[in-house]
């Protein structure tokens, strides 16, 4: 019967050590290969871009040019019995501005049917530095104080006809307190002004009877007094002469 040869202990230990070394090398190589792999780069997500200047520009409203409408001049046709002061009062504008818009220098030159241009806006008020021209037959006592009243006789309309006879007074200075002022016809007749303030503007004194207003005063006589050739004198309550006017004709 043959005998079985048993491996000794040294051979077994050598074989076991060899297996351990081979296994360790195999694991190490696998790990090295795995670590050397680069992770895939993440896909770039496209980012929406915004043109900020374009957005701001679109938010700004675009000016649309406005074409001004054509302006049609306003006119007024003079009616029988109209005076320049009456027309200015009716239209709510300054008499001097109405005269300037129509090239008038005398408020008594109106005629029935005459077409007047009516000033509007800034043209409806007189320029502050411009004074109304004086009639050739009128003389006014100068006043050196800019804020003092400057009242003058501007003319007489309807002279000799009671129903239309009117004296026009114009103040181009400061407020004039007219109480006690006199209008003298040179023949002994005098009109005494009531308690009344004449601001920068005009007032009409009618010879006939009527009811006083802020722009119209009435003497209350029953006959005309302003005859051609007579000299009208305006004096204040202290007797100082402010204006004289010679009625044309005579």
pLDDT tens track for 150-204:
999 999 998 889 999 999 999 999 999 999 999 998 888 999 999 988 988 899 9
What does CATH list as the number for 74-124?
Answer: 3.10.350.10
pLDDT tens track for 114-159:
998 888 766 556 555 444 444 444 454 544 544 799 999 999 998 8
- Beta strands 201-206 and 216-218: pairing type? parallel
As a whole-number percent, the residues of the chain with pLDDT over 90 amount to 26
CATH architecture entry for 138-246: Sandwich (2.60)
The angle subtended at Cα 151 by Cα 145 and Cα 152, nearest 5°, is: 125
Q: Is 231 helix (H, G, I), strand (E, B) or coil?
A: strand
**Confidence category of residue 223, pLDDT binned at 50, 70, 90:** very high
For the chain, domain boundaries? 74-124, 138-246
């Amino acid at each position: 019967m043959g005998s079985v040869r048993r491996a000794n202990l040294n051979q077994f230990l050598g074989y076991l050590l060899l297996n351990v070394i081979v296994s360790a090398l195999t694991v190490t190589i696998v790990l090295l290969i795995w670590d050397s792999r680069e992770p895939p780069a993440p896909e770039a997500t496209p980012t929406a871009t915004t043109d900020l200047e374009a957005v701001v520009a679109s938010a700004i409203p675009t000016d649309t040019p406005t074409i001004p409408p054509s302006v049609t001049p306003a006119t007024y046709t003079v009616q029988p019995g109209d005076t320049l002061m009456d027309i200015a009062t009716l239209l709510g504008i300054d008499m001097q501005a109405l005269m300037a818009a129509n090239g008038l220098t005398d408020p008594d030159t109106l005629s029935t049917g005459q077409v007047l241009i009516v000033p509007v806006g800034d043209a409806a008020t007189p320029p502050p530095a411009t004074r109304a021209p004086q009639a050739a037959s009128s003389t006014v006592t100068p006043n050196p104080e800019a804020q003092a009243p400057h009242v003058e006789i501007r003319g007489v309309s309807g002279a000799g006809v009671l129903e239309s006879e009117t004296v026009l007074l114009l103040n181009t200075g400061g407020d004039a307190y007219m109480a006690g002022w006199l209008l003298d016809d040179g023949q002994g007749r005098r009109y005494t002004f009531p308690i009344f303030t004449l601001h920068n503007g005009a007032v009409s004194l009618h010879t006939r009877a009527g009811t006083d207003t802020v722009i119209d005063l009435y003497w209350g006589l029953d006959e005309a007094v302003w005859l051609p050739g007579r000299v009208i004198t305006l004096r204040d309550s202290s007797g100082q002469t402010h204006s004289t006017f010679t009625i044309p004709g005579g």
